[in-house]
Each structure stands twice: as C-alpha cells, then as structure tokens.
Amino acid sequence: MPGLVGIVSRYNDSIDIKDLLLDMCQVIQHEKWYKTDTFIDKTLGLGRVHLGIFNPESQPIFNQDKTLCIIMEGEIYNYQNMKEECIAKGKKFYFNNDPELILHLYEEYGTDFVHKLNGFFTLAIWNEKTQKLLIVNDRYGFRPLYYTEYNGYLLFGSEIKAILQDKTKKKNVDDRSVADFFSFGYILGNKTFFQGIKLLPPASILTYNEGNISIDQYWDLEFNEEYSDQSEEYYVEKLSKLILQAVERQMKGKHRFGVPLTGGLDSRTIAASIDKKYYPIHTFTFGKPDCDDAGFAYMLSKKLGTTHHFYEFEPAHLASYAEKVVYLTDGMKNCVHAHIYNILDGIHQNVDVIFDGIQGLRFVTPGSELYGADDAEIFSDLFNPLKNIDQFFSDSYYLKIQQYLNHFSDDILINSDINLPFNRYNYYFLKQRKRRFSIFGPIILRTKVETRFPFYENEIMDFILTVPPVLRVNDYLFKKTIITLFPHLLTVPYQKTGLPLNAGNLNLKAHEKIERVKALINSGVRRTIGYESVFKDHSNYADYNNWMRNDKKLREYIYDILLDNRTLERPYFNQEYIKKIIDLHMSGKKNNFELIGRLLTFELWNRQFIDK
C-alpha cells in the first residue's frame, strides 16, 4: 500500500538519510505510475508515495515562516467548515487541500486540532525549531503506520518492508505474533512479525523528540451505557439521516466512484444511498458464478441502475496471486482471504474511489447469547483459537511460545468504563479483528484505487455508541433502517439468510433448520464416501475446501510449497502433523483450507522477508 515513510535521526552523521529514504519510497512504489514526494533536511527525511487521487499536490506543505511542515495520506470530510473557521482567524490558503488546513489547525490549537477532524488519515508534522516530530492517525487506524526506534533514530512507514530497507536492523521474528497468527488467523494488539517494529495504535499522537517516543491516545470507543428511553422509530430515523449524510459528504471530488456489491447489508446500503446525480456508479462482484452474492448483487444493480461488473473467481487464481498479496500485506493477511486482489485491475480500469462498508454498522451485532458472557467466553467466540495447537508446533518451539498462548489477552487492552459484556465484545471486535484482519481488504485495494468508509464517519459512530444493545442484536436496527430507506430493495434476498430482509421469525427459523439438516447430510457423506456433497453450498463466493482438493494446479501449488524440504525444515512446526493436516484435507475427511492458507502465507512470508 502506498503511503508515508520517514526517518528522524538524533545525529547528523548516524545514517545516510538520503539513500535510505529513496529505498524506503521505492519499495512501496508497487506501480510505475505512483507519484513520490520527498523532503530531506539535516536529521530528517520525509516521503509520500501516492496515487495522485486525494490531495494530489506535492508535499510536504510548509507554514508561512517555514518552521513547520506536514505530509499526509488520506483525507478529511469536514474541510469546508474548518477552512471557513481558519479564514475567520486570518489564515491564508494557497493549496486549498487537507494538509494545508490541518497545518493551520495545528498552529491554532496545538495537538487538540485532531478533535476537529472527521476522516481517515495518517500524517506527520515536523517542527524545525524544536526538532520534534508528531505522527497522528485517525480514530480507527484504518491507514496503518509502522514504526521502530533503533540506534538513535526513528523509522516509520505505511508498510513494514519500508522499515526493513535499513539493512543494519536485525530481522528477528516475534514469537508472540507467530503464536497469534496460527491461533487466530491474524496478529493481536500492535505487534508485527518482527521484534521491535510496532503498529501505531488507533487514535494516536506519537511524539518523537531528542530520541524519546511518547504516544497519547486522543479517542476511544466509549459506550453510553445509560441508555435513553427513546422509541425505535427515533433510532431508525436518526440512523437513516446519518447514513445519507455520510455518503453524500463523501461524494466529493471529480472522481469515478464504485462500490463492491454483494448480497450483504453494507454494500447495498451504500450503493442505494448514492444520489443519481453522481451516476454512472460502477458496482463490482466476484465469486463462483452460481454463488448467492453473484445473483443478489445482479438484482440490486438492476434495481439501482448501476454499471455492474462480475468477475468469476476460479480455483487456480490463488496460486497466481498468493505471493503478491503476502508481499503487499507484509505476511499479515491469510492469502485465502485476499480475493479482492484478483479483480484489482478491473476495478482500477473503471473507478478511482471505492466505497467500502467493512461491516461498519454491523460491528456491534453479536447474538444475544453474549449478553451475560465473561471475557473468556467473549474471547472464545470472537477469536476462535485453533484447537490442538500443541500438536501443531514442534516440541521445542511450542515450549518457546506456550506462555504466549495462555496469555494472549495481555495484548488486548479495554476501556475500563465498558461494563456490559455485549459492548466489550464490540470493543474487541473493532480494536482487534477489524483493525488487524478486515482492514487488509482496503489496504490491497489502495494499491490501485482510493477508499472511503461512510459508516465510520464520526457522527455515525458516536450515535451507534448510544444505541441500546437490544436494538443492535443480529443487525436489528440496521435492517429496520434499510427497510425504511429503501423499500424498493426488499425483494432482493439477504445473502446471510437467502430470504428478504423483512422475513418473519418463523421463516428464518425454518430456513436455519433446513440449512442445519443439509450441513449434517453433507458431513455424513464426506465422512463415509469422501468429499462430494449432496447439497451444493451457494452461500459462499469461494469453495476453497473443494478447490484445494480438486483443482490440479492449486493442489500441486500447495504440495510444492508446504511439503518442500525448505518449509518442513523450519524450526516452527511438527512435520508429521502438518502432513496429516494436508492429508486429511485432500482425502476429504476434514476441511482445513483456513489452516492450509495460514501455512502457505507464513511460508511465503519467510521466503520473501526472512530468507532474502
């Protein structure tokens, strides 16, 4: 993902800033058409690699007396209001872009400027007089930035590989992160696969001055658990207004806009909220031709009048792009979940900006069974740790990481004011799974196009935090809002149930029972005669379980990587157990595609980041 890079040294001669900054920029320039801005001054090097879509003007931008400068990636959505406020205070504008505005706000309000911003961004401000660097990100950390302090200087970058361009830094593997990745499928907290390289926490102000790092958190999820006695209609009306307002506010700029469209709730809501004056709007769907998403998205596009594109997802595609997505995500995204890479070129040909829901209004909707759960139950439900993990690793490596497996919650800090288990679940979900797993889809997208997240605008999130849990269970409020706003879409089924959104409880329960019976029959058939299923699964856009078994190219790719001596001789795993996992899957006795994906990803990461 293009973004920011930087170096701050305590001493003029401790590092060759010019050459290192160039290397850091080049390694995240994944396309020849990317634009690059750099600035070097004594002990400082700043760089921005970007697509030329948001704030395309050259950076850094300086204040009037050249004592402050800023580089930024991302954007804010309340620019005009803030600009008028600055003009009223005598500020002058020459570039009329976000970083110029933010620099004015910093001059006026100091670090409190961040409370005035509504957007998704990472920025760095350098003070020449005090030799102090500030790095600030948005509330959710949706534009990741990694950093390390080493040998008297600070390095930071939007990709870890930028930091690794400093060849003097040792590449020591972080064992806690390895334990996380195989236990949960992603890394918890702010760790990375490398010791000493950390992810900047969300809503952070990092200050680096005279070799000292401090990080202050300026915002957190604060649920208002003294819920007001408002009617259901009040919440539906309020949320409806905020959704339309957020989408309208983000339809700024002379860009080509698109929406990844599925049979889910998020994408249909965003697509339907876009005013016809902004058309043509492109929508994109990928998957198996007979999957529910393909059919339901087509129905939605017809009703909305979008220019729709469907891309068939074929079994062999994974083998063709696995290495690339592992490289782009620094190995932290299981390659079997990086399907969006396969249609990037098609998206890039048609649009500049993608509107992504990433479950924005659904991050607060677990089932009611979690009303009284303790943290142990919440962790089990949310993180779903791998079973039999003691057999998975070699004896020596298991002894090394066992303590981490038993204390993974140490990496998960929570706002102590959140009392309701239901809300604690939501807190963990956004701070961990969303930020360390779901966000890699948009990260991959941003290698070709820009992204916007309407459901995470400040006003929407602040409102959601006031909604009583009874209205958030199982998407209740979200569904009610969609039904109210877009009654013409009611006939298009919801992918999760295969039924219209206004289906009654009896229909939903009957559907669930039928699906459970189908699953039991398929499981019995698989155990007795192999992997063939009586009932085809149309709910998923991919079928990795069967694709890994039946597609020759993909199966051979898996064998070539995972059963190669180079892989098996690494110190991490129990060789025989890894072979057993693969054999059980290929014979149809167990479905292990998720675990095979983690193994593939980790091995490819080792080859690209450690072996080289």
Q: Do residue 192 and residue 236 come from a single domain? A: no
Using one digit for the tens of pLDDT, what is the confidence trace for 75-111?
999 999 999 999 999 999 999 999 999 999 999 999 9
CA gap 135, 137 in Å, rounded: 7
Higher pLDDT, 398 or 378: 398
Q: Do residue 420 and residue 285 come from a single domain? A: yes
Q: Contact 427/364 with Cβ under 8 angstroms?
A: no
Residue 319's pLDDT band, with cuts at 50, 70 and 90, is very high
3-state SS, one letter per residue, for 172-196 = CECHHHHHHHHHHCCCCCCCCCECC
Neighbours of 576 (CB within 10 A): 10
Element (H, E) at 36: strand 35-41
Using one digit for the tens of pLDDT, what is the confidence trace for 233-264?
999 999 999 999 999 999 999 999 999 999 99
Q: Do residue 479 and residue 584 come from a single domain? A: no
Q: Do residue 199 and residue 284 come from a single domain? A: no
Query: Is residue 422 predicted with pLDDT exceeding 90?
Result: no
Residue 512's pLDDT band, with cuts at 50, 70 and 90, is low
In a domain, 448, yes or no: yes
What 126-130 contacts at long range (C-beta under 8 Å, 24+ apart), as own/partner pairs, is 126/44, 126/46, 126/60, 126/68, 126/69, 126/70, 127/67, 127/68, 128/41, 128/66, 128/67, 128/68, 128/69, 129/67, 130/209
Q: What total number of domains does the chain contain?
A: 3
Higher pLDDT, 374 or 555: 555
In a domain, 385, yes or no: no
CA gap 465, 139 in Å, rounded: 14
Q: Do residue 139 and residue 281 come from a single domain? A: no
Residue 389's pLDDT band, with cuts at 50, 70 and 90, is confident
In a domain, 530, yes or no: no
CA gap 243, 460 in Å, rounded: 7
CA gap 150, 296 in Å, rounded: 52
Task: Please report the pLDDT score of residue 605 as a whole number.
Answer: 98
Question: What is the chain's mean pLDDT, rounded?
Answer: 91
Q: Do residue 287 and residue 430 come from a single domain? A: yes
Q: Do residue 270 and residue 351 come from a single domain? A: yes
Residue 513's pLDDT band, with cuts at 50, 70 and 90, is low
Q: Do residue 68 and residue 24 come from a single domain? A: yes
Query: Is residue 375 predicted with pLDDT exceeding 80?
Result: no
Task: Please report the pLDDT score of residue 539 as a whole number.
Answer: 72
In a domain, 36, yes or no: yes
Query: Is residue 423 predicted with pLDDT exceeding 70?
Result: yes
278 Cβ contact list (under 8 Å, min separation 6): 251, 257
Q: Do residue 451 and residue 483 come from a single domain? A: yes
DSSP 8-state assignment for residue 200: P
3-state SS, one letter per residue, for 374-427 = CHHHHHHHHHCCCCCHHHHECHHHHHHHHHHHHCHHHHCCCCCCCCCHHHHHHH
Picking from 35, 354, 325, 15, the residue whose alpha carbon sits closest to that of residue 159 is 325
DSSP 8-state assignment for residue 609: I
In a domain, 389, yes or no: no
Higher pLDDT, 492 or 534: 492
Q: Do residue 154 and residue 193 come from a single domain? A: yes
Query: Is residue 14 predicted with pLDDT exceeding 90?
Result: no
CA gap 567, 570 in Å, rounded: 6
We report the CATH number of the domain holding residue 128 as 3.60.20.10
**Residue 530 φ/ψ region, left for φ over 0, alpha for ψ in the -120 to 50 degree band, beta for the rest:** left
We report the CATH number of the domain holding residue 344 as 3.40.50.620
pTM of the model: 0.94
In a domain, 470, yes or no: yes
Q: Do residue 185 and residue 271 come from a single domain? A: no
Residues of the chain above pLDDT 90, percent: 76
Q: Do residue 245 and residue 317 come from a single domain? A: yes
Using one digit for the tens of pLDDT, what is the confidence trace for 148-168?
998 889 999 999 999 999 999
Q: How far is CA 545 from the centre of its chain?
A: 24
Query: Is residue 66 predicted with pLDDT exceeding 60?
Result: yes
In a domain, 503, yes or no: no
In a domain, 521, yes or no: no
Residues of the chain above pLDDT 70, percent: 90
Q: What domain range includes position 241? A: 232-363+398-496
